[in-house]
Structure 1
Amino acid sequence: MSKLNGVHIVEAFWAAVWQGKDFDAIDRFCVEDFVITSGGVDVRSRDSFKAWAKQFNHLITDLRFDVIETFQNDDGSRVASRWRVSGRNNGMFGLPPDQRAVSFTGTAIWQIREDGKLMHNWVERASWEAYNALNVGKSV
């Protein structure tokens, strides 16, 4: 495998899809049988991922996506990224869409094919902390 600039590929994806809200860009970046594993649950296929991303974006009004850091293995086929999402609650965790501020961090590990296409993304978010922040004063 030739060396990829995986950091560049992933950060271009972040810029187009999450920062630019261009969900059709998923077609350019991801293989057709793309998989995102979010919280241990697999979403399979590029089209299913696109629907998942749109739904996630809908749950946070004015979603802002900030990259904290991104780095890769030696050949660029694996990339790790830390990031922060912020915005206003539009129904996260099944809570009422009260438009209160929400912010949480997360990590993503990417598998990148030799041609630079994204194959798999494993994502973990600080969901417990975000839920508790939105659910202040309620027993959990």
Structure 2
Amino acid sequence: MSNTNSVDIVHAFWDEVWNAHDPEAVDRFVVDDFLIVSGGEEISGRANFKAWIAGFLAKVDDLHLEVAESFQNDDGSRVTSRWVLTGRNNGILGTAPDQQNIAMTGTAVWAVREDGKLLCNWVERASFELYRRLADQ
């Protein structure tokens, strides 16, 4: 694989999908049979991924994802990003939608196809810590 700009592709995905609050932008970035594994859940297929994003966005008002660090392997087939998600609670993790400011850290590992399309994403996020903060309020 000669793709040397995989980090740029992932950053564009964060900005154009998550920060723009636009699940439809997913079409420009991922393969039809895209797979994401997040929070112990597997979401398979582009349409299901877009629905999952829309549902997540509905639970966090003013969502913003700030990338702390990203890097890729030599051939660009893998990208890893550390990030911080901020916004206001509108029912994330089944909590009361109290509009409280929230922040959650996470790490994402991406598989990138040679043509730059995203194949798969594995996400680990600090949801338990966020849930405890919100539930203790």
Residue matched to 2:15: 15
Deviation at 1:59, TM superposition (A): 0.4
Q: 1:1-140 maps to which residues of 2 (within 5 A)? A: 1-136=1-136
Deviation at 1:4, TM superposition (A): 3.1
Q: Which runs of 5+ in 2 are unaligned?
A: none
Q: Which string of whole-angstrom CA distances, capped at 9 and with x for unpartnered residues, describes residues 8-33 of structure 1?
A: 11001111001112211100100000
Between the aligned partners of 2:49 and 2:17, the Cα distance in structure 1 is 12
Deviation at 1:3, TM superposition (A): 3.2
Identical amino acids, percent of aligned pairs: 55
Between the aligned partners of 1:66 and 1:22, the Cα distance in structure 2 is 16
Between the aligned partners of 2:40 and 2:134, the Cα distance in structure 1 is 23
Q: Which string of whole-angstrom CA distances, capped at 9 and with x for unpartnered residues, describes residues 82-122 of structure 1?
A: 00111111011111111111111000000001110000000
Q: Which string of whole-angstrom CA distances, capped at 9 and with x for unpartnered residues, describes residues 8-64 of structure 1?
A: 110011110011122111001000000000123210000000000010011011111
Contact 1:4–1:116 (Cα < 8 Å) also in 2: no
- Give the AA of the match of 1:77: S
- Give the AA of the match of 1:28: R
Q: Which string of whole-angstrom CA distances, capped at 9 and with x for unpartnered residues, describes residues 51-80 of structure 1?
A: 000100110111111111110000111000
Q: Which runs of 5+ in 1 are unaligned?
A: none
Contact 2:3–2:115 (Cα < 8 Å) also in 1: no
Between the aligned partners of 2:76 and 2:35, the Cα distance in structure 1 is 19
- Normalised by the length of structure 2, the TM-score is 0.96
Between the aligned partners of 1:69 and 1:18, the Cα distance in structure 2 is 17
Q: Name the SS of the counterpart of 2:27 in structure 1.
A: helix
Between the aligned partners of 1:71 and 1:18, the Cα distance in structure 2 is 19
